[in-house]
Amino acid sequence: SKKIIIAIDGPAGSGKSTAAKNLAKKLGFTYLDTGAMYRAITFLALRSGVSDNRDKIIEIARNSNLTLKTDNGLTRVFSNDEELTDFIRTPEVNSKVSEVSVIPEVRTEMVKIQKRIGEKGNVVAEGRDVTTVVYPNADIKIFLTATIDERAKRRFKEFQAQNQSITLEEVKANLEKRDKIDSSREVSPLRQAPDAFVFDNTGLTPEEDLEFLYNKIIEVI
């Protein structure tokens, strides 16, 4: 049977992870969270105190041997068999990850791993460049978005659920900063692929979002 790839890009907090996870579950596909990989490299660089040293970050990316496992919708990330899952979604990583992600050599390493995962097929991948660079021939491309206020509120709720002390204003400022860096970088900027289907899910529940996207996808595959 055909090896399907569904690629979803969009700004931070647009619900890509939730939608991709839910779609993967419903379709029986593999979920690929590419952001988790950039987060893992960022965490490793922060832990080694080299997050401002480009050459050291590249070295970390090349030696990271990242592997991903999905358990009940959660992407577990390992580097050289050490589990990093619990360390990659912190405010510290959030504030540094976009700077790490501009480094072309880091991207080359991550894209190599992502393409390898894609070759097996039946993948729902989400990130910033999966519709444009990683899987230019994806069977379906979706550009998911929502207003900045809605996206900030969603992330803020996630942090509150984890008891992280951060304000809504801080969350919004971080999203805006990341979107700006992610969209304006030279290599693989966040862009709407010309053949992507654009969907604004402002005001929709995750369930409504899933239903809409699922129906759209089964029209195509």
Which residues fall in the annotated binding site for ATP?
10-18
What DSSP letter does each residue of 110-169 carry, written as one string?
Answer: HHHHHHHHHHT--EEEEESSIIIII-TT-SEEEEEE--HHHHHHHHHHHHHHTT----HH
Reference 100, options 33, 19, 16, 185; nearest CA is: 185
Report the residue from 75, 182, 199, 213 that binds ligand C5P according to the rule CB under 6 A: 182
What string marks each residue from 48 to 77 as x (binds ligand C5P by CB under 6 A) or -? ------------------------------
Contacts with ligand C5P in 10-39 (CB under 6 A)? 12, 34-35, 38-39
State the minimum distance, in angstroms, from the CB of residue 65 to ligand C5P.
Answer: 19
Reference 10, options 202, 214, 215, 186; nearest CA is: 202
Judge whether 175 and 12 are in contact, CB under 8 Å.
Answer: yes
- Binding region for ligand C5P (CB under 6 A) out of 19-27, 54-62, 121-129, 143-151: 121-129
Residue with tokens 């690929």: 32
Q: In the complex with ligand C5P, which residue's Cβ is closer, 60 or 97?
A: 97
Residues found near ligand C5P in the complex (CB under 6 A): 12, 34-35, 38-39, 97-98, 101, 127-130, 178, 182
